[in-house]
Structure 1
């Protein structure tokens, strides 16, 4: 297999033939694959691990995953092979009906680098649909004095495939009165029409039975048929005519059911029953047939289902007016569905950090948000902002992604946690908005040394004190938390009259209480200087010192002595 990864310098384009399709990649974060439709679940689409520059086992280690987009996922990652595979059956006609090119998009997130890769997958058409007629049987009424060469519209066949797999030709069963002509419409469709080649005689034959066959260009060729019954009628020499060849209407998507959109009108100069006109859809796709209704007698087109601009913003139909003799006229109907602001923005947290160290630099990533609004134009334009005066900001990232980052260096001792509200508001009238709440804890770092409340301490000890007597409690405060705030007390090493300081006094390492280990004698020495150190358990530890002066108080423990006379 040929490698298919575009290197980081983005200087070239590599074409890869893979088992199920073809991959192209341009730029540094855009990957393209091509696969045929109707693949089985689990079919390989492409080697995504290699195209990301990873080994298969690194997909899980580096948190590579597909970012969901709110609908059924069509693809999945195989962590063992490192491949992108199908998650279910892929039907091109279901996904991209009528589109020349069917392209699916998904986003792949690499968690450890918080990097998004866009993947485009082209679904290629196969000949899995045969042409078919909406009406398998059709009755055409013709006047017995119809002129030879007259054209009569036949049903239009449908084939949801594209290219050569779509509808290519029509064929009429052999007969003595009719031939077939196929017109190429401006919309690219082929419209079959019946040509009267020989004059009709109702008394000779009142009905003609024909078979119309539609064929595609696939291999093998697929076909569909419709049975046509031509009824020969008595003379009616005028066909209906529409007042205009094209009817247009624009309607907001939130109109009520049963709303009248427009009226098509055709007239027939004949008198009596020969002048009566009936309306019907000659060409209408499946979606439009489920949304609109045409009144058979009045030509009123109204809604029978809710409109949704996001599902379809434009409908094209063809209506037919026919009199009792089978003469007909046709006109186009174009309906534009106008967007209203009926969808609030959607915010998806694709990556979130619940805790951040207080000494993190400005611009540290807190969360990655994907913002989307299904509406169009201004109704779909979204603005994101943060509520309140908080030390964070939003930065536009790839596509519709926003990065929530710190705007200053945080200090846990000032604010230990934040509740962040991100609001996404569209530009519609009235605007719709969505709030996303994020809780963030500021993790402590050992950035504060222990602090004594006094710059120095003094204590007084009566001489002849008992050993082990408590002299003084010295307590320091550390604003950090947990281990960073756990304080250990100790005495600086020193000597007094040749003896170590630790033989005279000691300090409780946990409480900071100073004890006398020696019974002091005022007549030997009257004060001693001690340096106390408070040290926390952080990494690295921080400490501070304070000076302590101990004064020995005299007691009346000596009787007077007579020095002279001896």
Structure 2
């Protein structure tokens, strides 16, 4: 006895364990909720936060949203409470028709990380529709010789509700000669049939008036009525009979309007008017009357409207053949519509994430779903994007897809991407749908400013070493006359930053100078200017360290070294003239003057050849004397040199030693042999003395 009780306890424990595991698995997967149709806006369906095991705050943080198929969104997920709330009235008959149960699929979309959870919502039917007959009055003709048990088909009623709320049975009153029988057809419709209980006598009662009632099973039940008027006829021995009681035909969805689908045929053994047959639709629905046309003489059924497999794929058509005596026979035609690939795939874009930061990888760019209304292979789809983009396509649950960045992006290489989503079905011919989304790449401060030398002319010794290669900087040299006024423009440095926005806003500053307070740098344009007059005590050589930085977070920077040589007694043509505008007309006049001088010289060359020979001999003697009287400094001025006109057009490939007077106010100087450029000046200064042979003449060797 004790062993049996112990076994029973173990079985009970195992059963409880399985019940617990089953409940856990059901909670982690999809759920089915239910709501009664016609509920008002604001009706609470369920608390999804509780069912999903999420905190209410997570719904807003993960941008939770409820997504359903179609253009109308019937419910809304509240981020404040986690409740799934009805926002539109739901009519079960409009959503599902006669389909039972009526289930609406929807998804809960969560971001960061991306998660899609599928749920189902069952719309429960209420008895809000009463049965209705296609015809409120029916007229029948019955032979008085009809035996008991004769069955007479009647027009059926339609109830839009389903299940117990749908049409259940029919009744007839009064029941003097007939009773009604309900017959269920293959498509689920219920048709009434009038059954003769006893023989008729036309002489006693030539016609009968009956009331046909259709009842549903709702609580309380609803009903609809129709009047049946029966005419009792004299004997017509034979009723029309069809060659087949059931016709079946298949027709392509793309069949042309006007084509004949099938021909029905009936015969009557009677002669004369009693044997003449005409064909009519028997209690056909409005959809059948719009789609097909029946020839009353030949029995041809003709297509009068284009077919759509996705809306209706089967038609059940009842045809009646009547003779002249009022007798009739009936048959049924089943029309099967064969699907063709006539619907392109549908693409629904759920969310797009743009712009995306350039330094992040595997970011979800877009979420979308695809569908195809066709069936079979015609409804199967493939999805793709371009291969030459740094994005990949991933399939999620059911027909949902995500587009994810494959790696870190570079905005400086490409700031915008156009992603074309191509959806193709597997039908014949294949149909394609394309949708293009634009993804912007937002800037991140990942590039430091860099100096460029395109805005200024430098004399740089070849094979020189970058003094600050780790900071991407390069030194260069500028000449500064000692007589320069405060605010004199010494140089202008230019830097660029490949970033955009505030990451590319540059500012300049002077980090270090040999003589603090002598030079200033304008923060926004990089101009280096003197802040005071130069004195004799100021050193002849200055080294400036300039810094440029961007406005990013954190900021990036680069530096450059500027060598400034102070020139004592620098002649006027070497001074920069920013106020003087460039005059093309003056250059043209000078060119004309040079041409005139050249022509005059050529024409006078022959006459002056003898005198020129003597003059050359004398010049050579004079030049030898002048070289002894003009001091040639051993140091050189690396940096900018300008030509006589002051336009600064001398080539960077040559550098000349200049012999100048310390107090001369003219632009007279003499070029000597070109010297090898040198970036470093000797510390000793040499005095430049005036030579009478250098004035008003220059010679280039």
Higher relative contact order (CA 8 A, sep 6+): 1
User: Partner residue of 2:314?
Assistant: 314
User: Partner residue of 1:487?
Assistant: 506
User: Partner residue of 2:522?
Assistant: 508
Pick aligned residue for 2:491 from 462, 469, 472: 472
**Cα distance change, pair 375–503 in 1 and its aligned pair in 2 (3 A):** same
**Cα distance change, pair 353–180 in 1 and its aligned pair in 2 (3 A):** closer
Alignment of 1:201-280 (within 5 A): 201-280=201-280
Query: Is contact 2:480–2:490 with CA below 8 Å preserved after alignment?
Result: no
Unmatched runs of 5 consecutive residues or more in structure 2: 1-19, 454-465, 467-473, 570-661, 663-684, 689-701
- 1:458 partnered with 2:472: no
**Cα distance change, pair 25–36 in 1 and its aligned pair in 2 (3 A):** farther
Unmatched runs of 5 consecutive residues or more in structure 1: 1-9, 15-23, 561-566
CA deviation profile, 1:504-555 (whole Å, cap 9, x unmatched): 5444333334445684769x96655544333222111112233444456677
**Cα distance change, pair 482–227 in 1 and its aligned pair in 2 (3 A):** closer
Q: What is the Cα deviation at residue 411 of structure 1?
A: 1.3
Query: Is contact 2:512–2:546 with CA below 8 Å preserved after alignment?
Result: no
User: Partner residue of 1:385?
Assistant: 384
User: Partner residue of 1:564?
Assistant: none
CA deviation profile, 1:160-216 (whole Å, cap 9, x unmatched): 222222222222324443333344444444443333232222223222232232222
Alignment of 1:76-225 (within 5 A): 76=76, 83-110=83-110, 115-225=115-225
More strand by share: 1
**Cα distance change, pair 188–381 in 1 and its aligned pair in 2 (3 A):** closer
How many matched pairs?
534
* CA–CA separation in structure 1 for the residues paired with 2:559 and 2:307: 77
* CA–CA separation in structure 2 for the residues paired with 1:559 and 1:82: 91
* CA–CA separation in structure 2 for the residues paired with 1:426 and 1:350: 21
* CA–CA separation in structure 2 for the residues paired with 1:376 and 1:154: 36
CA deviation profile, 1:45-83 (whole Å, cap 9, x unmatched): 333555466677986776544547453444455677654
User: Partner residue of 1:5?
Assistant: none
Q: What is the Cα deviation at residue 34 of structure 1?
A: 0.9
User: Partner residue of 2:559?
Assistant: 545
* CA–CA separation in structure 2 for the residues paired with 1:558 and 1:299: 126
Alignment of 1:320-469 (within 5 A): 320-361=320-361, 363-387=362-386, 389-453=388-452, 455=466, 456-459=474-477, 461=479, 464=482, 466=484, 468=486, 469=488
Instruction: Kindly name which structure, 1 or 2, has the bigger radius of gyration based on alpha carbons.
Output: 2
User: Partner residue of 1:18?
Assistant: none
* CA–CA separation in structure 2 for the residues paired with 1:559 and 1:492: 33
**Cα distance change, pair 542–235 in 1 and its aligned pair in 2 (3 A):** same
Deviating more after overlay: 240-249 vs 318-327: 318-327
Query: Is contact 1:280–1:321 with CA below 8 Å preserved after alignment?
Result: yes
* CA–CA separation in structure 2 for the residues paired with 1:280 and 1:57: 66
* CA–CA separation in structure 2 for the residues paired with 1:192 and 1:303: 29
**Cα distance change, pair 55–485 in 1 and its aligned pair in 2 (3 A):** same
Query: Is contact 2:358–2:410 with CA below 8 Å preserved after alignment?
Result: yes
Query: Is contact 2:318–2:331 with CA below 8 Å preserved after alignment?
Result: yes
TM-score (norm 1): 0.81
Secondary structure in structure 2 of the residue aligned to 1:298: coil
Secondary structure in structure 2 of the residue aligned to 1:502: coil
TM-score (norm 2): 0.67
Secondary structure in structure 2 of the residue aligned to 1:452: strand
Secondary structure in structure 2 of the residue aligned to 1:476: strand
Q: What is the Cα deviation at residue 448 of structure 1?
A: 1.1
**Cα distance change, pair 542–71 in 1 and its aligned pair in 2 (3 A):** closer
Secondary structure in structure 1 of the residue aligned to 2:450: coil
Secondary structure in structure 2 of the residue aligned to 1:440: strand
* CA–CA separation in structure 2 for the residues paired with 1:191 and 1:306: 29
Deviating more after overlay: 475-484 vs 284-293: 284-293
Query: Is contact 1:25–1:32 with CA below 8 Å preserved after alignment?
Result: no
**Cα distance change, pair 544–426 in 1 and its aligned pair in 2 (3 A):** same
Query: Is contact 2:27–2:51 with CA below 8 Å preserved after alignment?
Result: no
**Cα distance change, pair 304–40 in 1 and its aligned pair in 2 (3 A):** farther
Query: Is contact 1:463–1:521 with CA below 8 Å preserved after alignment?
Result: no
Deviating more after overlay: 326-335 vs 67-76: 67-76
CA deviation profile, 1:92-122 (whole Å, cap 9, x unmatched): 2232222121112344545676554444221
Query: Is contact 1:111–1:351 with CA below 8 Å preserved after alignment?
Result: no
**Cα distance change, pair 298–111 in 1 and its aligned pair in 2 (3 A):** farther
* CA–CA separation in structure 2 for the residues paired with 1:108 and 1:287: 37
